[in-house]
Amino acid sequence: MNKSTQLKRIFQSQGTEYLMEAHNGLSARIVEEAGFKGIWASGLSISSSMGVRDSNEASWTQVLDVLEFMSDATKIPILLDGDTGYGNFNNARRLVKKLEQRNIAGVCIEDKLFPKTNSFINNGPQPLANIDEFCGKIKAMKDTQNDDDFVVVARVEAFIAGFGLEETLLRAEAYERAGADAILVHSKKSNASEIQSFMNEWKSRTPIIIVPTKYYSTPTSLFKEMGISTIIWANHNLRASIDAMQTISQTIFQDENLFAVEDTVATVEEVFRLQQVGELTIAEAKYLPKSHKVRDDSL
C-alpha cells in the first residue's frame, strides 16, 4: 500500500493511533522495527541532530535530504513537521511537490510566521499567521498534490500563543474548511485541560492529532475517551540519544578506556544489522562475478 494511503488510514482509523519521532535514517528504521505504523519527522529533532536551532536555520532542502534517507530506510509512512511551510503558499506548494517525489506521505504546517520558534521556547510572543493567509496556504498545498492520499495536516498554535478555546476553534474550523485532512491542536500546559476543552466542542469527523510532550502524565486512556485520532511521541528518540551520548562520552573521557562501556552499548554487529549489511552480502554473491576480487589488498 502507498505510504500516503497508510498515513491516511492511520488518521481515519476508529481507534487512537501513534506516530513516533525519528530524525534520520537510523532512528526511522528503529521506529519501524519497534512496531510503529508511522513516523513523525520532527523539526525539533532534525534541527538539533544537525546541531542547529529549531528556528529554520537548516534550509528546507537540507531537511528534504534527511527525509530522503528516512524514507529509503523504511516502509512505514512519514509525516513531516513542515514548520510554517518555509515561506508563503508558493514555498509550501513547492514543498508538497518535492515531498511527493520522495515518497513522503504527508506534511504538517503550523499557523506561525517564518522563521518559526519552537512552541516550548518562552522568549516572547509567538505571533500567529493571518487565518486567511494560512487557509490559502492549505488550499494551495491540497491543489498541488498529485497523489489523492497525500496528507496535509494543519496545526493550530493558538493555545501556544496564549489565546483561548474560541480562537483555537475558529482556526481549526477554518483550516478544516480550507481542506486540511487533519488538525493538530498543540498545547504547552502540563495537563490536558486545553485539549479536553477543545475536544468537548469539536463535533466534526476531521481527525484531531495531539503532541503530549508537556502533559506527558495524562494517561493515554483519557485521550482515547476524548476521541483523539493520533498521538505524536514527538522527540523521545532524540532525547534518549542525547542522554546516552552524554553518558558514554563523559565516561570514555574520564576512564581513557572502554572497560566500563562495552557492555552498555549496541554491538558493532547490531550496527551492521541495522544497516542491512546482510542484504549487500547476498547481492554481492548474486551480482558480482565469482572470479571478481571485491577487495584486492595487493593493489
Q: Give the residue numbers marked as catalytic.
A: 54
Residue 157 engages Mg ion in binding (rule: CB under 5 A): no
Q: Is the dihedral of CA 145, 61, 71, 27 positive or negative?
A: negative
Question: Residue 38, SS3?
Answer: coil
Among 17, 21, 81, 111, contact with Mg ion (rule: CB under 5 A): 81
Q: 25 vs 43, which CB is nearer to ligand SPV?
A: 43
CB proximity list for 65: less than 8 A, separation 6 or greater: none
Contact residue for ligand SPV among 4, 49, 187, 235 (CB under 6 A):
235
- How many residues are given for the chain? 299
CB of 166 to ligand SPV, least distance (A): 22
Show the DSSP H helices in the chain as ranges. 3-12, 25-34, 43-49, 60-72, 89-101, 131-144, 165-178, 193-201, 220-226, 236-255, 268-274, 277-287
Query: 213 touches which of Mg ion, ligand SPV, none (CB within 5 to 8 A by kind)?
Result: ligand SPV
Minimum distance from residue 160 beta carbon to ligand SPV (Å):
8
Residue whose CB is less far from ligand SPV, 73 or 232: 232
Task: Build a one-symbol-per-residue string for 40-79: x at contacts with ligand SPV by CB under 6 A, - elsewhere.
Answer: --xxx-----------------------------------
Taking CA atoms, 277 is separated from 56, 109, 270, 274, 280, in Å, by 35, 36, 10, 8, 5
Residues that bind ligand SPV (CB under 6 A): 42-44, 81, 118-119, 211, 213, 234-235
Residues that bind Mg ion (CB under 5 A): 43, 81
